[in-house]
Amino acid sequence: ELKVEQNPLFLSMQEGKNYTIYCNYSTTSDRLYWYRQDPGKSLESLFVLLSNGAVKQEGRLMASLDTKARLSTLHITAAVHDLSATYFCASGGADGLTFGKGTHLIIQP
């Protein structure tokens, strides 16, 4: 059974700081996804990582994948308030996705 663990589960940080969210998954998987969810909203796809060493960047967010360590990271550079949300990583292939519990991120001025 595939398990996905995120840490931290809660993060409060100041604007302008950098931080990293970690996502570990238990078994070999085809791909790794990062989603963002705002309160009361659905899931917005951020990144899809398909292979070892994959790195993708969008604005202040950068995601990477190390399949040997079964680890993905989501790095936030110079955080701004608009990035406050819950971030989920999810792993899976043909059988649907297994999600982590999410990282609730609050960015304070």
Partner 1 sequence: EAGVAQSPRYKIIEKRQSVAFWCNPISGHATLYWYQQILGQGPKLLIQFQNNGVVDDSQLPKDRFSAERLKGVDSTLKIQPAKLEDSAVYLCASSYGTYYEQYFGPGTRLTVT
DSSP string, 43-97: EEEEEEE-STT-EEEETTEEEEEETTTTEEEEEE-S--GGG-EEEEEEEEETTEE
For the bound state, the minimum distance from the C-beta of residue 23 to partner 1, rounded and expressed in Å, comes to 11
Q: Which is nearer to partner 1, 48 or 55 (CB)?
A: 48
Q: Which residues bind partner 1 (CB under 8 A)?
A: 4, 30-31, 33, 41-43, 45, 48, 88, 90, 93-102
For the bound state, the minimum distance from the C-beta of residue 78 to partner 1, rounded and expressed in Å, comes to 27
Q: Which is nearer to partner 1, 10 or 17 (CB)?
A: 10
For the bound state, the minimum distance from the C-beta of residue 10 to partner 1, rounded and expressed in Å, comes to 11
- Which residues fall within 8 angstroms of residue 28, CB to CB, at 6 or more apart? 67, 70
Rounded to a whole number, what is the distance in angstroms from the first to the last CA of the chain? 41
Q: Which is nearer to partner 1, 53 or 93 (CB)?
A: 93
